[in-house]
Amino acid sequence: MTCPWCGAATRPNVTLFGEYVHGEPLSLATQVAEQTDLMLIVGTTGIVAPALDIPKTARQSGATLIEINPNPTAVTPLVDLAIPMSAGEALPLIVRAFLQMIA
The answer to whether the CB of 68 falls within 8 A of the CB of 77 is no
Domains of the chain by range and CATH? 23-102 (3.40.50.1220)
pLDDT digits (tens, 9 = 90+) for 62-99: 999 999 999 999 999 999 999 999 999 999 999 999 99
Q: What own/partner pairs with CB < 8 Å and gap ≥ 24 does 86-89 have? A: 86/43, 87/42, 87/43
The rounded radius of gyration (Å) of the Cα atoms in the chain is 16
Write down the pLDDT at residue 26: 83
Task: Give the chain's mean pLDDT.
Answer: 89
* Whether residue 11 has pLDDT greater than 80: no
Write down the pLDDT at residue 36: 97
- pTM value? 0.78
| pLDDT-above-70 percentage for the chain | 96
